Amino acid sequence: MPATLLDGAKLAAQIKDEVALETRALAAQGLRPGLAAVLVGHDPASEIYVRNKIKTCEQLSIYSEKIMPPETITTAEMIALVDELNARDDIDGILVQLPLPKQVDAKRVLLEVLPEKDVDGFHPMNVGYLSTQRPGSVPCTPAGVMEILRRSGIEVAGQEAVVVGRSDIVGKPVAMLLTNANATVTICHSKTRDLPGVCRRADILVAAIGKAGMVTRDFVRPGATVIDVGINRVTEATEFARFFAGDAKREADFAAKGSTLVGDVHPEVAQVAGALTPVPGGVGPLTIAMLMSNTVKAMKLRRGASTNAPAMSAKN
């Protein structure tokens, strides 16, 4: 029996509806969450991501601001820009769209974002909060992976989970979240021996590699849940045929656009997995939904703290 497809677009819509309810309740108290997106340069993928983030903010009544400094910006100027946003009370979340131009020290800039406004969850302070199970921002894509599992009723506690990929943005935080949710977690990477064998141990297999269709059916234990984080654009006809030969819908899409998206998981895995996230329409849509959710959470945590402050100082 083919795998159940886990519909990320539907789950993302649910999460956005919940965020919209929250922003409505906040508006009734005269409060509005705000997100600033800093976009440097003209990377086409980054432009699309930022446009979609701003559009989603508008749909959910979150104030948003797009800041586009010149491509020649220096590290010091970026730091000054982040400092200005850090100081603004109407901005709850600061998103520095990566990649930054070569002359900018991206790690230094990300360190400058106040941890309480770091809605991407990349600041070492938030990484530490996640590792020690304290409240803080969790990176959006990994948070989305956990929402897919939770909202699809897939048991995590006590399960064998294998994460392929150990990046700071996806692999490591996914592994940490699964550990916090009581899975038994193995992290794999490019130096892992017998990768298919290790992956076959998984009840839950997460692929965050960046290699089109690398996870084939021999990586997957029959009935396992497979979460495909990868987004890879295929433009070569031979590569396309390797994944989608005989799939009329994909063939029409490829003929019209000259490209199509494939995950890190080969589509043949649908024949063995118990449940699988499609690409597109799986993990992808959750990322923006979780960014919206993180922005509202950041606002509640930070402004909640500032409203408590006068009461505390009055006591002292």
The DSSP symbol for 184 reads: E
Give whichever of 26 and 294 is closer to ligand NDP, judged by the CB atom: 294
- Please give the helix or strand (H or E) that residue 307 lies within, else none: helix 284-315
Establish whether 97 is a catalytic residue: yes
Shortest Cβ 143–ligand NDP spacing (Å)? 11
User: Rule CB under 6 A: is residue 190 a binding residue for ligand NDP?
Assistant: yes
109/219 Cα distance (integer angstroms): 39
Give whichever of 101 and 280 is closer to ligand NDP, judged by the CB atom: 280
Shortest Cβ 313–ligand NDP spacing (Å)? 42
Shortest Cβ 97–ligand NDP spacing (Å)? 12
- Give the count of beta carbons closer than 10 Å to the beta carbon of residue 175: 23
Stretch of residues binding ligand NDP (CB under 6 A), selected from 12-20, 64-72, 100-108, 206-214: 206-214
Contact pattern from residue 254 through residue 293 relative to ligand NDP, giving x for each residue in contact according to CB under 6 A and a dash for the rest: ----------x------------------xx--x------
Shortest Cβ 209–ligand NDP spacing (Å)? 4
Residues written for the chain: 316
User: Rule CB under 6 A: is residue 211 a binding residue for ligand NDP?
Assistant: yes
Establish whether 53 is a catalytic residue: yes
Residue whose C-alpha is closest to residue 272's, from 183, 196, 186: 196
129/132 Cα distance (integer angstroms): 5
Please check if 136 is assigned to a binding site.
no
Shortest Cβ 12–ligand NDP spacing (Å)? 11
Return the axis-axis angle of helices 140-151 and 8-28, rounded to nearest 10°. Answer: 110
Residue whose C-alpha is closest to residue 206's, from 129, 128, 145: 145
The interface with ligand NDP within residues 137-166 (CB under 6 A) comprises 141, 164-166
Give whichever of 86 and 167 is closer to ligand NDP, judged by the CB atom: 167
Give whichever of 50 and 91 is closer to ligand NDP, judged by the CB atom: 50
Establish whether 102 is a catalytic residue: no
Give whichever of 167 and 271 is closer to ligand NDP, judged by the CB atom: 167
Please check if 8 is assigned to a binding site.
no
Burial of 44 (0-12, 13-18, 19+ CB in 10 A): exposed
Shortest Cβ 311–ligand NDP spacing (Å)? 40
The DSSP symbol for 164 reads: E
Size of the site for ligand NDP (CB under 6 A): 26
The interface with ligand NDP within residues 219-238 (CB under 6 A) comprises 229-232
User: Rule CB under 6 A: is residue 167 a binding residue for ligand NDP?
Assistant: yes
- Give the count of beta carbons closer than 10 Å to the beta carbon of residue 53: 23
Burial 121-157 (b: 16+ CB within 10 A, else e): bbbebbbebbeeeeebbbbbbbbbbbbbbeeeebebe
114 contacts: CB under 8 Å, gap ≥ 6: 86, 94
User: Rule CB under 6 A: is residue 189 a binding residue for ligand NDP?
Assistant: yes
Closest residue to ligand NDP in the complex (CB): 167
**3-class SS at 272?**
coil
Cβ–Cβ under 8 Å, residues 227 and 204: yes
For the annotated catalytic residues, the residue numbers are 53, 97, 120
Annotated binding site for NADP(+): 165-167, 231
Residues that bind ligand NDP (CB under 6 A): 141, 164-167, 169-171, 188-192, 195, 208-211, 229-232, 264, 283-284, 287
